[in-house]
Amino acid sequence: MKERNKLLLIVIVFVAAYYVPWNHPLIRQSGLEAFMMLQEYAREHVLTCLIPAFFIAGAIAVFVSSASVLKYFGAHANKILSYSVASVSGTVLAVCSCTVLPLFAGIYTRGAGIGPATAFLYSGPAINVLAISLTAKILGWQLGLARAVGAVVFAVITGLLMALIFRGDDAVRTDGQIYMPDEEGRGRTLLQDGLYILTMVLILVFAAFARPAEGSSGAWSAVFAAKWYITVGLLLILGLMLKAWFTKKECINWVESTWGFMKQIFPLLAGGVLMAGFMLGRPGHPALIPEQWIQSLLGGNSIWANLFASLAGALMYFATLTEVPILQGLLGAGMGKGPALALLLAGPALSLPNMLVIGSVLGAKKTAVFCTIIVCMSTIAGMLYGALFV
C-alpha cells in the first residue's frame, strides 16, 4: 500500500471515530449490522469458499503457463472458444461475487484478455445451476429461465463490450510478450495438471455446497448430506497428487502465490463487507437505509424501479442462493417481476466488496465501465421481462 493511501485510511478512521454519532440508535444498530455481516461472512464463506478459491488462483498463477492462458483466453484467442468457455463457467463453480475474485485475478494476471476475463468474472457467480433451479422452483420457471438465459447472454455481451472499449489496453498488455510453448520436461503431463486443478475445483464446489431448500429433489439433498465425506476424500486425493507429481519448490511457490492473492484481496473484501453491512444490513435486519424504502421503490415496471433494483443489487452482497429467499420476500411485499429479474442479473455478479477488489485488479476506469454495463443491461432486461409478464 502506498504511503498516501495509508495516510488516507488513517484520516478516514479518525474522522469516523471523531464525528460519527455512535450514540444514535440507528447508527449504533448499523455499526452492529456491519460487524454481524462480517461475522456471518467469516463463518459461512471464508473457509469453504474463499480459501479454496485462493488456492486455485495460486495454482493457476504458478502452474498454468502464460502460453496456455493466452491460447484460450488471450486478447487474440479464438473468440468463439474463449467466450463460450468463459460464459458458462458458473455452471461448474457455485461461487458468489466475492469468491470468484481470486480466480478472476489469477487468469487476468496470467495474460487473459479483458473480454474473456470479465465474461468469466460475471458468469462465475451468475450462472449457478443450483441457484437457477432454486429460482425456477420458488419464484417460477419463467423467472428461472430468464435468469439462466440472461446470465449467459450478459456474460458474452459484457466481455465483448469490455474488449471493444479497452482494445488499446489489451494490445499494450500483450505487446512485447514472448509467446512461448508449454515447458518441456517439467515432470507432469497436461492431463496431470488438469486433474490437479479439477480436484481443487471439485473441493470448492462440494465444500461450498449449500443446504437445499425445502422440497428440493432428493439428489441435491443426498449430495449435501455427503458433501464433507466427498470433500475429505478429494483432499486426500489432492495430497497424493502433490506428493507424487510436484516438487517441494513448486509447492512453496504455490503457497506463496496463494498468499499474495490473499494479501491483496482480503483487506478490501473485509472493508467492503463492513460498508455494505453498515448501509444495507443483513436480510431482515434494518441498518442505515431502511428496508421499506427499498421495497417502496421496487413496485411496478418503470425504468426507475428497474434501475433502482439493478443499483441495489449491484451494491448489496448476496451469498450464493441467498438472493432467492430475499426476492421471495420482496415479491410478496409488492416488488414487480421486472425489477426482480434486474436484481437477479445484477446482484449475484456484483457487490460493493467485489467492486473494490476488481478496482485493485483492473483499475477504477475499467471497473466503473464493467459495473455500468451490467447495471444498464440488467435495467433493460428487467423492463423487457416486466412488459412480457405483467
Instruction: Return the DSSP state at 153.
Output: H
pLDDT of 130 over the 70 cut: no
The closest of 161, 44, 60, 147 to 101, measured between CA atoms, is 60
Residue 333 has pLDDT above 80, yes or no: no
- What is the CB neighbour count within 10 angstroms for residue 350? 29
Give ∠ CA 93-99-104 in degrees, rounded to 5: 80
What pLDDT is attached to residue 94? 54
Residue 390, pLDDT score = 66
Quote the distance between the C-alpha of residue 297 and its chain's center.
26
Q: Which of 323, 312, 317, 273 is nearest to 130 (CA)?
A: 323
Domain residue spans in the chain? 27-388
3-state secondary structure of 94: coil
- Model confidence at 383: pLDDT above 90: yes
Q: Among all chains, which residue has been given the C-alpha cell 473457509?
A: 47
Angle formed by the axes of helices 141-165 and 79-87, nearest 10°: 140
> 13: Cβ–Cβ under 8 A, 6 or more apart, which residues?
none
pLDDT band of 47, cuts 50, 70, 90: confident
The mean pLDDT of 312-339, rounded to a whole number, is: 75
Mean pLDDT over all residues of the chain? 80
Report d(CA 386, CA 300) in Å as an integer: 8
* pLDDT at residue 245 greater than cutoff 50: yes
Contact 354, 378 (CB under 8 A): no
Q: Of the ranges 55-69, 176-190, 292-306, 353-367, which is most confident?
A: 353-367
**Quick check: 50 pLDDT over 80?**
no
> Hey, what's the cell of 325?
429467499
Q: Is 185's pLDDT higher than 50?
A: no
pLDDT > 70 in the chain, percent: 83
Residue 33 has pLDDT above 80, yes or no: yes
Contacts of residue 60, Cβ cutoff 8 Å, sequence gap at least 6? 103, 106, 107, 110, 197
* Alpha-carbon span 343 to 350, nearest angstrom: 10
**CA 242 – CA 259 distance, rounded (Å):** 18
Q: Which residue from 108, 109, 136, 137 is spatially nearest to 124, judged by alpha carbons? A: 108
Question: Grid coordinates representing 374?
Answer: 451490467
- CA dist., res. 276 & res. 262, Å (int): 20
Contact 374, 355 (CB under 8 A): no
Query: What does the chain come to in residues?
Result: 390
Q: Above 60 in pLDDT, residue 327?
A: yes
Show the cell assigned to 301. Answer: 415496471
The predicted pLDDT at position 239 comes to: 92
* 70 has pLDDT over 80: no
Interatomic CA distance for residues 322 and 208, integer angstroms? 13
C-alpha cell recorded at residue 303 = 425504468
Q: What is the CA radius of gyration of the chain?
A: 21
Distance CA 4, CA 41 (A): 30
- Give pTM, 2 decimals: 0.67
Q: What average pLDDT does range 353-359 have in this prediction?
A: 85
Strand, helix or coil at 163?
helix
For 3, residues 6+ apart whose C-beta sits below 8 A from its C-beta are none
pLDDT classification of 86: cutoffs 50, 70, 90:
confident
Tens digit of pLDDT for each residue in 334-352? 788 899 999 989 987 888 8
In this predicted structure, what is the pLDDT of residue 180? 43
Q: Which cell numbers in the block locate residue 20?
A: 460519527
Q: Does 382 score more than 90 pLDDT?
A: yes
Q: Strand, coil or helix: what is 89?
A: helix
The long-range contacts involving 203-206, CB below 8 angstroms and separated by at least 24 positions, are: 203/52, 203/231, 203/234, 203/235, 203/238, 204/49, 204/52, 204/53, 204/56, 204/93, 204/95, 204/99, 205/92, 205/93, 205/94, 206/230, 206/231, 206/234
In this structure, are residues 282 and 40 in contact, taking their beta carbons and an 8 Å threshold?
A: yes
Q: CA end-to-end span of the chain, whole Å?
A: 51
Alpha-carbon distances, residue 284 vs 15, 139, 166, 232, 349 (angstroms): 30, 19, 41, 35, 22
Distance (Å, whole) CA 103 – CA 60: 8
CA angle 136, 140, 145 (to 5 degrees): 50
304 grid coordinates: 426507475
Distances 88 to 22, 27, 281 between C-alpha atoms, Å: 46, 42, 31
